[in-house]
Amino acid sequence: MRGQGIAPPPHPRFSIFVLSLTDMISRSLWLVAALAPALLGSGAGLTGAAPPEFRSALTNAPLDLALRPGDQLSEGLKQFYASGRNPYVGRAEALARGKELYEEICQACHMPDGSGRIGPSLIDDLYINPRANTDVGMFEILFGGAFGAMRSVYDRMSQDEMLKVLAYVRTLKK
Ligand code: HEC
């Protein structure tokens, strides 16, 4: 009788399609399994529970925050390493030192008011590098350098001073 008996094998193109579909699904399951710990880990970082990681703005490789010979691990720097928040923001004495450093080193490229020339504006609503939205990201840019003329200032000031100049940069934004 017609319609009975063994079904013909599926069209070869169709079985290749089904095979590659199951292959794709199993691959993406593996990917989810592999990425889950990393995703959860970064979530913990956002809650402020874990100390921040510092990464190069150029290569994203971890930054070695070794102090220069003779530099001190200041109380402010210790707080910053632990919390990722710049403790000098809004502190008058630190801001005065930050202003001096800004005038000496940064304003040639970023202008005295921060409006930008060779370097981008530091006072408009949008930073070119999204990193600059956080204290850690700004520090990464200063410590490790960014693209073009934005060189690392590691040889020019201590890490404590980097925090002070960055606290001053925040005051330029009206
Ligand atoms: C020789 C010129 C030059 C000097 C000096 C300089 N910068 Fe820059 N700066 C740049 C350039 C160019 C960029 C853009 C880099 C990029 O996009 O990767 C930049 C980017 C930045 C950014 C990120 C802004 C954004 O929109 O992404 C910050 C913050 C910054 N500089 C702060 C400073 C501070 C603070 C100093 C002084 C300690 C300084 N710069 C000194 C040229 C300079």
Q: CA–CA separation, 119 vs 139, rounded Å?
A: 16
Give me the pLDDT at residue 42, please.
47
Distance CA 165, CA 101 (A): 6
Q: How far is the CA of 75 from the centre of ligand 1 (A)?
A: 26
Q: Is the dihedral of CA 67, 68, 72, 74 positive or negative?
A: negative
Q: Across residues 5-25, what is the average pLDDT?
A: 60
Atom of ligand 1 nearest to the CA of 106: 37
Q: What would the pLDDT profile of 66-77 be if each residue is shown by its tens digit? A: 999 999 999 999
Cβ–ligand 1 contact at 156 (below 6 Å): no
pLDDT of residue 132: 95
Residue 125: what pLDDT?
86
| pLDDT single digits (tens) 33-57 | 555 545 444 444 455 568 999 999 9
pLDDT of res. 101: 98
105 within ligand 1 shell (Cβ under 6 A) = yes
Which segment of 25-39, 65-79, 139-153 scores lowest on mean pLDDT? 25-39
Contact partners, residue 104, CB within 8 Å, separation at least 6: none
Distance CA 68, CA 48 (A): 28
How far does residue 120's CA lie from ligand 1's centre (Å)? 7
Q: Which atom of ligand 1 is nearest to the CA of 58?
A: 18
Q: CA-based angle 62:75:134, to the nearest 5?
A: 45
Q: Which residue has the tokens 């529970």?
A: 49
pLDDT of residue 29: 54
Any ligand 1 atom below 6 A from CB of 154: no
Q: 132 and 138 in contact (C-beta within 8 Å)?
A: yes
Ligand 1 centroid–CA 146 distance in Å is 7
